[in-house]
A and B are shown apart, each in its own frame.
Chain A
Amino acid sequence: MIQLKSVSKVYRVGPVKVTALDGVSLEIEKGEFTVLAGPSGSGKTTLLRLLYRDEVPTEGEIRVAGFDVTGMRRSRIPHLRRAVGVVFQDAKLLPARNVYDNVAFVLRVLGTPRREITPRVMQTLKAVGISARAQALPAQLSQGEQQRAALARALIKEPALLLADEPTGNLDEAMAEEILYLLSDIWNRGTTILLATHRATLANQLKRRTLVLDGGRLLKDEA
């Protein structure tokens, strides 16, 4: 599902060069649940952004869900993005639209036939446990509920791969656990998951294969 070969990413901020990733090679199989751990600033977010081509690597090759991410033409990017769902620490919901519309928005921009939209949205909202708040605006939701809505938005297009960047970062422990439980649930239904977090305890507690980044290098890869 994911292959990286000697991937480096150097950001240039004026004359200053910041090496965010340094020669990272790794492979993640279809159907895996992998945790990407490491301290703040170790390059986790950068790695995820390379995977959905929000950024391009300075060096190396990347393949994701059958796409040659490094060599692909710009016009192919939307196809990659449709195969990859992404959620962030902040839910990034559109504030002027309610939960239903935030999720339906994805199907609308992807040109899904109108009559398919409502049943699919309701089904997805149910799957992440937020169907009761479909008409609520993001501001009227708790952080945990917002994160569920964001998950629904990422999952509605049925991506093969879900990238989650610190999705529990804004949540208290009980809510974080609920979201993690939900992620396991999603994984059980066949979605490959890569979860980035700087919380070591969380990473350990999940008991999944864990990739540890430090200073842009891959330190450990343990099951």
Chain B
Amino acid sequence: MLFFLVGEALRDLRRGGRVAVSAVLLITLSLTALGAFWVLSLNLGRALVQWRDRFRVVVYLREEPPAGQVEGLLKKIEGVGGIQRLRYVSKGQALQALRRQIGGQASVVAELPANPLPASVEVTPAGEAMTPEGTRALIQRLSALAEVEEVQGGTAWVEWLAQLQGLLQAIGLSLGAVLALAAILTATTATTLVLHARREEMEIMRLVGASEMVIRLPLLLQGLIQGFVGAAMAVGGLYGAYRLALPTLEPLLSFTLGLPRAAFFAPAEIAVLVGGGGLLGALGGLMAKGERPA
């Protein structure tokens, strides 16, 4: 029975001919567009997570507190709320860090008459305060403290990334949706052609008492096959493009976004794409108008 149903589905695909091929290509196209934007937004998302993780608000203090009061000051700062972690950096530590950073020119630092660097507290906002508004509010609360000279911590860059990701997702989704619609319609046309070619057969099937399931299932299957083939081609094409672009893309990514590696889809995400393809094809198969049984 299974052999028969799959055999009929393959026969149907052949009967769908050029339209079936167009349906497959359109499914490929729509999933490629969707997938391309998805993979971009995926990598941006990873960059975002990394950036958010590294993100600090730096609170510069008016004066270096005496050693015994550091603890109390940190408590006070933490008291403003929305803070995950904080770390005190004394004037001395700041200078050491500067020395390490400039390395070879360390002698320049040695020649300074006095340590010009202020003491500071590095604040990592809590997850819920990580939004642009949350960060802005946090910065305001910190600035209001008497001990605080200045607060630094621009969220502009992270915000911009988040917006870019949103934009990519929107473009990808709308382009993918338009193409998916075209793909479904083409799959429907292909199936309708098959229905016409099969009219006699379906008539005989109904006459001899085949169940509707047996009559309709090959149609659904040929739609599914169209979808799977299209999806497989899309994933293959995207992977090929990814491998080709990798040598040029990776240095660029690590330079601009600080991402060491450009990621491709995980197996689960590939499964989603292939499943989506199957769904597109199957919908086409289901939506085809055949003459209904009497």
B210 at the interface (CB under 8 A from A): yes
Contact flags A80-116 to B (C-beta < 8 A → 1, else 0): 1111001000001011000000000110111100100
Q: Which of B74-82, B197-205, B248-256 contacts A (4 or more CB under 8 A)?
A: B197-205
Q: How many residues of A contact B (CB 8 A)?
A: 27
Q: CA of A41 to CA of B214 in the docked complex: distance in angstroms?
A: 35
Most interface-central of B3, B201, B203 (chain A CB within 10 A): B201
B4 touches A109 (CB 8 A): yes
Q: What secondary structure prevails in chain B residues at the interface with A? A: helix
Name B214's closest neighbour in chain A (CB-CB).
A109
Most interface-central of B3, B204, B293 (chain A CB within 10 A): B204
Inside 8 A of A86's CB, which chain B residues have their CB?
A: 207
B209 touches A74 (CB 8 A): no
B209 touches A111 (CB 8 A): no
B156 at the interface (CB under 8 A from A): no
Known: A53-B294, A55-B294. A110 touches B208 (CB 8 A): yes
A111 touches B204 (CB 8 A): no
A79 at the interface (CB under 8 A from B): yes
Q: CA of A28 to CA of B156 in the docked complex: distance in angstroms?
A: 89
Q: CA of A157 to CA of B204 in the docked complex: distance in angstroms?
A: 13
Q: CA of A79 to CA of B209 in the docked complex: distance in angstroms?
A: 6
Cβ contact of B208, chosen from A54, A55, A81, A95, cutoff 8 A: A81
- How far, in Å, is A82 (CB) from chain B's closest CB? 4
A109 touches B293 (CB 8 A): no
Q: How many residues of B contact A (CB 8 A)?
A: 19
Known: A94-B200, A108-B4. A78 touches B207 (CB 8 A): no
B206 touches A81 (CB 8 A): yes
B112 at the interface (CB under 8 A from A): no
A153 at the interface (CB under 8 A from B): yes
Contact flags B114-127 to A (C-beta < 8 A → 1, else 0): 00000000000000
Q: CA of A54 to CA of B294 in the docked complex: distance in angstroms?
A: 6
A78 touches B210 (CB 8 A): yes
B209 touches A82 (CB 8 A): yes
Inside 8 A of B293's CB, which chain A residues have their CB?
A: 74, 77
Q: CA of A103 to CA of B263 in the docked complex: distance in angstroms?
A: 56
Q: CA of A81 to CA of B205 in the docked complex: distance in angstroms?
A: 10
A106 touches B208 (CB 8 A): yes
Contact flags A168-208 to B (C-beta < 8 A → 1, else 0): 00000000000000000000000000000000000000000
Residues of B within 8 A of A (CB): 1, 3-4, 200-201, 203-212, 214-215, 293-294
A selection of 11 A-B contacts at a CB cut-off of 8 Å is: A78-B206, A81-B207, A81-B209, A94-B200, A94-B201, A94-B204, A108-B1, A109-B214, A110-B208, A110-B210, A153-B208
Residues of A within 8 A of B (CB): 52-55, 74-75, 77-83, 86, 92, 94-95, 105-106, 108-111, 114, 153-154, 157
What are the nearest 6 A-B pairs in CB distance? A81-B209, A82-B209, A109-B210, A78-B209, A108-B4, A106-B208
